[in-house]
Chains A and B, each alone.
Chain A
């Protein structure tokens, strides 16, 4: 995969996690290891030193003493509102995998090909009819790449409730129902648009929890 570039936040976390007191945290050690962040590391160590020296001993806050909880909850509520709006906004590109691919110039067949899957499995994935725990991680990684989004967004999408088909036309007097969800392996085994080789690659060693990388 890609080389991991440590961002400043992670470096500063490491310094705190080292468990050393700030002045002993070895400015040299950290600055030598991350010269690109030298100024920020020194600023951080300076502020951390002062904060610790100025810390007052204070017992755990009991519910009756928590003066800031109401204000904090108000902040959380506001952020939840923002979160819901972003959920709506974020979900729209992935409301349908195929549509997202279409927007990027790919049809369902091309998307299935990019994932080395059949179109039937892809449709089931799209409608979240496959249990998340059984979907190989490689699928979420590849989808994120192909659909130009984050893996977290794909994971989130797969964990939303299953949906009805958006393509079907319903003439029955009964309300349409969502089919029972199935495992990824079962979906692959029954997808007649896939070749035997494809099926073998995805089902080799399949268990209940498929979140490992496949195919090899």
Chain B
């Protein structure tokens, strides 16, 4: 550490090895850190709260992470708190935009999980594995958000499994039957919809994770190969995540609500998707 009060603060270099060599902060981030390190907590908070990127006093997220790690070494809580709060606010807008479609509860739970994950990484001074947060913060943060989005989708699916569909208000048994007809199995591998035989085998404990994995793998491979954009999203939600197209209960997250389209549009997309996959399979065989 720098022992002379008069000399400029020392900014520790990153140590993580990456594809192109050791990771390094941008000169802008380094300069922001150098200017912010000596500030008292109140001034630090004022700068970290600035939202205008064009303001010369603005501090990027990469800089805020670097500062938190720096102050964590000496357990400087006042400064860490001064920075953490504005950083949390910036993150909230990002996660709200991406998770709110899954419902308020999913957003609140998901946001809390992401923040816990993020700060656990930032405060882990024994490792440099998250040096990347000081290089491209939003890239890693988006990835953490995708992971959490996927976890929330699984939770929704589990909740649906725990409640029989027939007791859900607005459940349409015809919808399930229609899906069986829409998507035909590829070379003996059923995708997404389940047969009575599957239920029997699962009850017997014979549907192993490997079989589930193969089924999911086939589905994903085909869908990613053939479909795009909203149609791909709708198809995956229906056939990978087992989400309903619509439901009369406004609390239930459906494909229609999540993607902000009418059930009719979703059904049209699913038909297009099934046709495209069938055509692709035909061309492949």
Contacts and interface: CB of A to CB of B under 8 A. Distances in A.
A168 to B, nearest CB: 20
Interface in B75-133: 75, 77, 80-81, 84-85, 88-93, 96-98, 100-102, 108, 111-112, 115-116, 119-120, 123, 125-129, 132
Interface residues of B, number: 81
Contacts of A159: 1, 10, 12, 73
B136 interface: yes
- For this complex, into which size category does the number of interface residues on chain A fall? 35 or more
| Max chain B Cβ within 10 angstroms of own Cβ: one of A14, A27, A56 | A56
B88 A66 contact: yes
Contacts of B81: 73, 76
B229 A68 contact: no
Interface stretch (B142-150, B175-183, B196-204): B142-150
B97 A45 contact: no
B208 interface: no
A52 to B, nearest CB: 8
B224 A42 contact: yes
Contacts of A10: 18-19, 132
9 closest A-B pairs by beta carbon, nearest first, are A53-B233, A61-B93, A47-B150, A58-B97, A72-B88, A54-B101, A181-B3, A159-B1, A42-B220
25 contacts: A1-B17, A9-B143, A13-B136, A17-B136, A27-B221, A42-B224, A46-B220, A46-B224, A46-B240, A47-B147, A47-B149, A49-B236, A54-B102, A54-B233, A69-B89, A72-B92, A75-B116, A75-B119, A76-B81, A80-B123, A83-B125, A151-B15, A151-B128, A155-B15, A156-B125
